[in-house]
Structure 1
Amino acid sequence: MSEITVGNYLFNRIKQVGVDSIFGLPGDFNLALLDKIYEVPGLRWVGNTNELNAGYAADGYSRINGLSVLITTFGVGELSTLNAIAGAYAEHVGLVHIVGVPATSSQQKHLLLHHTLGNGDFHVFDRMSAGISEKVYLLTENKDIPALIDDAIHTAKLKQRPVYIAIPTNVGELKVPKSKLDTPIDFSLPPNDPEAELEALEEVEKSIAAAKNPIILVDACAYRHGAVEETNALAKLTKFPVFTTPMGKSVIDEDYERYGGVYVGSLSSPEVFKAVEAADLILSVGALLSDFNTGSFTYSYKTKNIIEFHSNYIQIRRATYENVSMKPLLAKLVSQLTPPDLPLAPVPKLAREPAEPATETPLTHKYLWPRISGFLQSGDIIITETGTSSFGVTSIVYPAKVNGISQVLWGSIGYSVGCALGAALAAQELDPSRRVLLFVGDGSLQLTLTAISTMVRWKTNPYLFVLNNDGYTIERLIHGPESSYNDIKSWDHQLILPLFKADPETSESIVVKTKKDLDTLFTDEKFKVPNKIRLIELMLDRLDAPESLYKQGELTSKTNAS
């Protein structure tokens, strides 16, 4: 065949760039398009329980795979996933959102179709998506459709932001040259501006040479924009103490002896706070300085000597070097930098096990998180929900090659459950030996519970740790500790896996009430093997939380009241 349909071209391109699973829901304006998925060997239509979960799953899949694809239908379907798309945009996650829309003839006639607002405006929904998408693509008969599809995929991957593609029902059936698939999409980064890059490199090297107490502070965009290898190489070359933010956790190999922990402004441990504040040079890689990522903006560096490495510019004190990307610049810096001959500054010692024994007393956050640290393995994927989990995990040490995922900036309640589905499917495709561990509160779980049904459907084997603290603990600590709006109806979590008809041979539900219960579970060699889907219910007091969350709650309450 010299020609193929637009739908066939689209899904062949998606498969070519390493996406094997497609998320979403069917709807009458995308059904014919979905047929084309099955024409591409090795491509899987996941099929989610609702569009919001589909968006969260696509986000999680992309964070492991580097790119994901989501398909919804016009109006009702696409609007249901916009919260997830906004989160992907805010947190730099590459995602292609494909929307099946009415035929171009229907649009031209302004027909009063279902799923419209009844006013003949067929572009109101793509205008809504424009503000949370890197680019919007409206495919029509008179455009170079293969070029637009390629540009959309290229933009999502390179910019690590969502893009929106509207495909009318008739356009998906149009024929395009098959030969265009023979030329791969080139994802090479555009070259840095040579003069700006040279000047920036010289200034960075001068600053490093003059520093007496430099540190490296790593944030989320180092991971999102593919600079993990270069960042770790810089840390090991210079031997500067290296810290991460909550969003940057797992970018640096935490087994590295010069890793000092997580810096969250005033919420940091005293040792970390002291080490960072004492620096006379901060090499900041991939910063996303949101409130929960900075301890409500309580960064108070004594030094003004800050060099910021970003995906599309470098900031050196007050000088900005546009069109200079951190990934190639860091690679050049590592290749040519002569590290200063400085005495090794001490780094904080990080606790890897609980300081207290495993007794029959009730489980607490103080015991839980250090004990989890000892249970983790190299290669684990760890997803933590906004709330007690995302604060607890900052205090623990990850083994090497761990991926940590926490939606610290967007902070959408329930995100982590759908995200865990996407991450589990990506792990299933890329390396089935990797364990996926979800930590979610009982309140958050109630928003997106049905994502677990899809996990069961596709025979994934995540560990689902449900922190049962009888409601919205993070909200209680910000405002209204006894208010009924922070209450939820309690569920019998032990019935969730049976509800979704999980195979009893490959599923397990467990309740943990005491420190001893947790210790016994984590020392069970069979439990360490990811050969089942497991739901582990952790019983905790409703006002028990990690120490940093108590402090964050106070800061957030003050910020909200000012």
Structure 2
Amino acid sequence: MSDDKQIKIGAYLLERLVQLGTQSIQGVPGDFNMGFLDLIEDHSALTWVGNSNELNAAYAADGYARIKSTVAAVVTTFGVGELSALNGIAGSFSERLPVIHIVGVPSTAAQGAHSLLHHTLGDGRFGAFENMSKEISADSAVLKAKEGAGEAIDRILRTAMKSARPVYLALPTDLVHATIPSAPLNTPLNYDADENDPDAEQYVLNVARQHIADAKSAVILVDACAARHGCIAETNELITKSGLPVFATPMGKAIVDEDHPQYGGIYVGNLTSDPVKKIVEGADVLITIGSLKSDFNSGNFSYRTPKASTIELHSDYTTIGYSHYPGIGMKRLLPKLSALLEPEGQRRLEETKKIVPKFENVLPQDDSSVITQEWLWPRMGQFFETQDQVIVETGTSSFGMLEAKLPAETRWVSQVLWGSIGWSVGATLGVALAAREEKLGRTHLFVGDGSLQLTVQEIGTMIKHGLCPYLFVLNNDGYEIERQIHGPQRSYNDIPPYDHRLLLDFFGKRDFRSDAPSHAKDRPPSRKQYCKAWTKEQLDRLLNDEHFKKPDMIRVIEIVMQRGDAPKALKRQAEATGQANKYD
């Protein structure tokens, strides 16, 4: 692009998103964003998804960002639309995901005149909703004029990538087509991790090496921020070169391949199996990578690992024991720590092989035909394949699937920290879109019958876009996780029963793409299949069917389970949560 060439502000934003790897944009149309939507729909490298509502759109952006490891975009209209999305955006902030919330807002003239427009609070305040979003945004930009618009867009996108957090952009109707210089697009955005101060970094490395050298045993614990801040390769290099045993938290599951010879399973404080707990809590040094010690991620804060023995590596600081080193980030530190530990790696590996428990999918031996939580999750682990995506809802599936060994390169998608009920259905749409773009494996959702009801409409969007996820619906007659925590017989944990046989027909009864513009007809709606399993034998037969294993249609698989049955880890967590929330 020549230095004097101009580009529309809306188009500038889209080109930056394309450069970052974004191919699908979530959202809902409204009269203040439609001029921008025209640019999206006319862009050859972008797909406008068009969600059922703004909350689901934000959930889908969250799931998309997890798989693509880049900025996901969600577009809403001013006021009513953007507020509907905020729960989903808050989840992305909590769980450290880069999402840009693009809000179509009234023209700069209308704002300047404090016009009494629809979708406003009726008091002339046009900045009220931006202020609400600031609490859950790493940065925000409210465009007031075309001057500086490109720089503002670049700034917030760079912030989203570096901080792994959502950002907010208010785009007035009259600025979408205003033009600015296109020359900055010739230079890709630089969002590399900052360099560590060399002297401080070397000091930290020396201290860490001495801690590990003095220890009789050391263990690595991998957590979510290793993935959120782009350190998966560096983490796996440390594991391999150090030869040390490695475990994962619930939020860090599958960051390390679960068939890795040094991998021993999930550590979650008091909820952990005895063999894993013994190794982790018995180590002289614990090296944590990207730790997020929330209640559900740490067994209700029940880690038994002394702080004095812990080396914590984070995106922008390191702690060793009680010493804190700000500005020493793990992206730059990890390769150097790996090099320091490599000379002793082979010796440590031989010791690791002797003590690390083998993580396998072991089915319980019983004669009952009832599908139990104890049986379901290892059986599902046997069904998954390399590069599959596994999405679990907050509830029985997020705890139960921890017991399943996943194949290499599987993506584990869960919302342990924010835990918004129904999130997983919208997220599955985003995950499935991203998996198709990246040419990954199958997409599997595990959601309870209660959680499904909050966001079930997004199944229609999946069908519209020709996606073929496996939607496993766990029918245990209501909110089982809530019953485990409190009120097992209370009616507030009950739900109206749905006839799940009708879901796919209801949300995709006809080819509603037939009258779409020609460029939108390149992908036919999904073929559909509904299955129901009451017994182990029925589900086992289905999972063994070669045709069923092929992701050539969207499937709803209803699994009937007993009310009151829950994974052991959930029962222990629910007991701890119930005690923490005692009402008397």
TM-score under structure 1 normalisation? Answer: 0.97
Counterpart position of 2:379 = 371
| 1:50 CA displacement | 0.1
Counterpart position of 2:158 = 154
1 CA distance for matches of 2:535 and 2:358? 28
- Counterpart amino acid of 1:373? G
Counterpart position of 2:357 = 348
| 1:557 CA displacement | 0.3
- 1:276 partnered with 2:292: no
C-alpha contact 1:22 1:44 (8 A) present in aligned 2: yes
- 1:532 partnered with 2:553: yes
Q: Secondary structure at the match of 1:186?
A: coil
| 1:478 CA displacement | 0.3
Of 467, 472, 492, 2:479 maps to 472
Q: Secondary structure at the match of 2:409?
A: coil
Counterpart position of 2:170 = 166
In the TM superposition, what are the counterparts of 1:96-111 in structure 2 within 5 Å?
Answer: 96-111=100-115
| 1:355 CA displacement | 2.6
Counterpart position of 2:18 = 15
Q: Secondary structure at the match of 2:183?
A: helix
| 1:141 CA displacement | 0.9
Deviations 1:114-171 (A, max 9, x none): 1111111100100000000001111111641111111111111121100000111111
- 1:393 partnered with 2:396: no
- Counterpart amino acid of 1:40? H
Q: Secondary structure at the match of 1:417?
A: helix
2 CA distance for matches of 1:302 and 1:323? 24
- 1:463 partnered with 2:470: yes
Counterpart position of 2:31 = 28
Q: Secondary structure at the match of 2:581?
A: helix
- 1:549 partnered with 2:570: yes
Q: Secondary structure at the match of 2:478?
A: coil
| 1:502 CA displacement | 5.9
Of 209, 217, 223, 1:205 maps to 209
C-alpha contact 1:461 1:534 (8 A) present in aligned 2: yes
Counterpart position of 2:220 = 216
Counterpart position of 2:536 = 515
1 CA distance for matches of 2:329 and 2:306? 27
Which stretch of the first structure deviates more once superposed, 300-309 or 480-489?
300-309
In the TM superposition, what are the counterparts of 1:44-443 in structure 2 within 5 Å?
Answer: 44-66=47-69, 67-141=71-145, 143-302=147-306, 304-337=308-341, 338-339=343-344, 341-342=347-348, 344-345=351-352, 346-356=355-365, 361-431=369-439, 433-443=440-450
2 CA distance for matches of 1:19 and 1:303? 40
C-alpha contact 1:353 1:373 (8 A) present in aligned 2: no
Q: Secondary structure at the match of 2:445?
A: strand
C-alpha contact 1:253 1:400 (8 A) present in aligned 2: yes
| 1:235 CA displacement | 1.0
- 1:487 partnered with 2:490: no
| 1:49 CA displacement | 0.4
Counterpart position of 1:38 = 41
Deviations 1:469-522 (A, max 9, x none): 000000000000000000000001111001112689821100011111111111
Counterpart position of 2:7 = 4
2 CA distance for matches of 1:377 and 1:506? 22
| 1:39 CA displacement | 3.7
Which stretch of the first structure deviates more once superposed, 176-185 or 274-283?
176-185
Structure 1 residue ranges without an equivalent (≥5): none
TM-score under structure 2 normalisation? Answer: 0.94
- Counterpart amino acid of 2:223? D
- Counterpart amino acid of 1:356? Q
Q: Secondary structure at the match of 2:176?
A: helix
2 CA distance for matches of 1:12 and 1:280? 50
Identity %: 48
| 1:353 CA displacement | 3.1
Counterpart position of 2:518 = none
Deviations 1:227-248 (A, max 9, x none): 1111111111122111100000
Counterpart position of 2:452 = 445
- Counterpart amino acid of 1:287? S
| 1:38 CA displacement | 3.0
C-alpha contact 1:362 1:515 (8 A) present in aligned 2: yes
| 1:360 CA displacement | 6.5
C-alpha contact 1:250 1:398 (8 A) present in aligned 2: yes
Deviations 1:22-44 (A, max 9, x none): 00001111111111113421111
Deviations 1:271-323 (A, max 9, x none): 11111111110000000000000111111125731000001101111111111
C-alpha contact 1:418 1:451 (8 A) present in aligned 2: yes
